[in-house]
Amino acid sequence: MGAIENAEQTQEELILGFLADGRDEYTSGEALSAKLGLSRTAVWKHVESLRGKGYRIDAVPARGYRLVDVPDRLSPLELSPLLSTHHLGQSIHFHESLPSTNEAAFRLAADGAEHGEVVVTEQQTAGKGRRGRVWVSPPGLNLYFSAILRPELPPQRASELTLVAAVALAETLREEGVDALIKWPNDVQLGGRKVAGILTELSAEPERVHFVVVGIGVNLNAGREDFPPEVAATATSLSEALGRRVNRALFTTALWGRLEEWLDLHHEVGFDPVRQRWKELSSTLGQDVLVRTDRSELRGVAEDIDAAGALLVRTAQGSLERVLAGDVEQLRPRVTPRPE
């Protein structure tokens, strides 16, 4: 994107921000001109450009402009006016379609992208899940993004960021009024069905992390018909749980704000508060589980996660096994009271 196009986008973001601040009131063209340092004609051209992108903006002579409706998109025009973060999402790389946001973010990070830059797309054609799986990503319904992080962590602690993201994601979903729980290590569930997943990838040397890419996919407005048959029985969406459509831009910026809060806390205090909150939100702990790794299967009771986020499983023989990676099947539903 060239400098001129960037400037025009910024001016349109500012106009949207001013109109959104006005709520149902009209904002005069004169006021917009003064705030932006533009001519009334330039303001009108930007308003027409926004209308062409799907924004409904009323214009009344002698009163000004009023924002009536916004398109259901996740471009910077929709997201930037809603952001309250200081790093995360302040630079947004938006695409209508991508093979994978993680792949795009990894390339950007390798080329020097800064901490907090995000890649967002309306559709992934080769979305990446854990252990080489595909993340189903239909267009215009859900949230698919990857955040570039540059934490001051040794490589052996980078896995903590997956749990940071899981806590932030579960809390954001719970704010919408659903009982979101975390299934170790990185799935978020509603009623035992997967609503979101996290994929963390990093570039590191033995002693330091260059960068971490945290990819998150959240099923927001997908219906049962949007899931392929092989996952339809185990997947769900936030809109299905709520019985109403979800405002994707509001959810996205709320999630970025919550994620940044937890990242800041993790940076300042360490992993312990993340670990404690993760345990409160876990659907795995206390369960009979079957853990499948690349080389073996392990059956037992999921007792805890340790200071590095590894799952601790008590086997029938009484040994406590430490699991760093694997697929967990929960063999019976949790019945203990849930946190608020």
pLDDT of residue 11: 85
CATH code of the domain covering residue 107: 3.30.930.10
pLDDT of residue 90: 94
Residue 335 within a domain: no
pLDDT of residue 239: 96
- Given a cut of 70, whether residue 1 has pLDDT beyond it is no
How many Å apart are CA 262 and CA 250, to the nearest integer?
A: 19
pLDDT of residue 23: 74
Mean pLDDT for the chain overall: 88
Name the residue among 327, 308, 99, 305 with its Cα closest to residue 215: 99
pTM score: 0.84
- Given a cut of 80, whether residue 262 has pLDDT beyond it is yes
Within this chain, do residues 121 and 237 fall inside the same structural domain, yes or no? yes
Q: pLDDT tens-digit profile of 32-84?
A: 999 889 999 999 999 999 998 888 999 999 899 999 988 899 999 899 888 99
How many Å apart are CA 195 and CA 5, to the nearest integer?
A: 36
pLDDT of residue 333: 55
Residue 42 within a domain: yes
- Given a cut of 80, whether residue 332 has pLDDT beyond it is no
Strand 92-95 relative to strand 118-121, pairing: parallel
Q: Do residues 101 and 124 touch, judged by C-beta distance below 8 A?
A: yes
pLDDT of residue 58: 93
Within this chain, do residues 128 and 201 fall inside the same structural domain, yes or no? yes
Residue 96 within a domain: yes
How many Å apart are CA 283 and CA 135, to the nearest integer?
A: 22
Task: Give how many domains the chain has, as a whole number.
Answer: 3
Give 132-187 as a 3 state SS string.
HCECCCCCCCCEEEEEEECCCCCHHHCCHHHHHHHHHHHHHHHHCCCCEEEECCCE
Residue 339 within a domain: no
Q: Which domain holds residue 104?
A: 76-280
- Given a cut of 60, whether residue 97 has pLDDT beyond it is yes
Within this chain, do residues 147 and 60 fall inside the same structural domain, yes or no? no
Strand (E) or helix (H) holding 254: helix 248-269
Q: pLDDT tens-digit profile of 127-153?
A: 655 444 555 667 889 999 999 999 999
* Token pair of 47 as six digits: 């308003």
Within this chain, do residues 127 and 163 fall inside the same structural domain, yes or no? yes
Within this chain, do residues 30 and 152 fall inside the same structural domain, yes or no? no
How many Å apart are CA 167 and CA 182, to the nearest integer?
A: 8
Percent over 90 (pLDDT), the chain: 61
Residue 211 within a domain: yes
- What is the DSSP secondary-structure string of 68-100? EE--S--SHHHHGGG---SSTTSSEEEES-BS-
Within this chain, do residues 61 and 93 fall inside the same structural domain, yes or no? no
Q: Do residues 160 and 274 touch, judged by C-beta distance below 8 A?
A: yes
Residue 49 within a domain: yes
User: Which 8-state DSSP code applies to residue 27?
Assistant: B
Any idea what the Cα angle at residue 6 is, between residues 50 and 110, rounded to 5°?
130
Within this chain, do residues 7 and 85 fall inside the same structural domain, yes or no? no
Residue 4: pLDDT band (50, 70, 90) is very low
pLDDT of residue 292: 87
Any idea what the Cα angle at residue 330 is, between residues 223 and 159, rounded to 5°?
85
> In which residue are the tokens 């959240």 written?
218
pLDDT of residue 7: 61
Percent over 70 (pLDDT), the chain: 91
Within this chain, do residues 65 and 140 fall inside the same structural domain, yes or no? no
Q: Do residues 22 and 28 touch, judged by C-beta distance below 8 A?
A: no
287: Cα within 13 Å, side-chain hemisphere: 22
- Contact residues for 60 (Cβ-Cβ < 8 A; gap 6+): 26, 66
- Given a cut of 70, whether residue 237 has pLDDT beyond it is yes
| CA separation, residue 76 to residues 134, 206, 295 (Å) | 27, 36, 44
pLDDT of residue 57: 93
The mean pLDDT value for 20-42 works out to 88
Residue 198: pLDDT band (50, 70, 90) is very high
Q: Picking from 131-140, 173-182, 281-290, 291-300, which range would have the lowest pLDDT averaged per residue?
A: 131-140
Amino acid at the residue 219: N
The mean pLDDT value for 105-116 works out to 97
Q: Do residues 297 and 323 touch, judged by C-beta distance below 8 A?
A: no
| CA separation, residue 181 to residues 43, 173, 323 (Å) | 47, 9, 20
Helices 29-36 and 3-21: crossing angle, nearest 10°?
A: 130
pLDDT of residue 281: 96
Residue 7 within a domain: yes
pLDDT of residue 128: 57
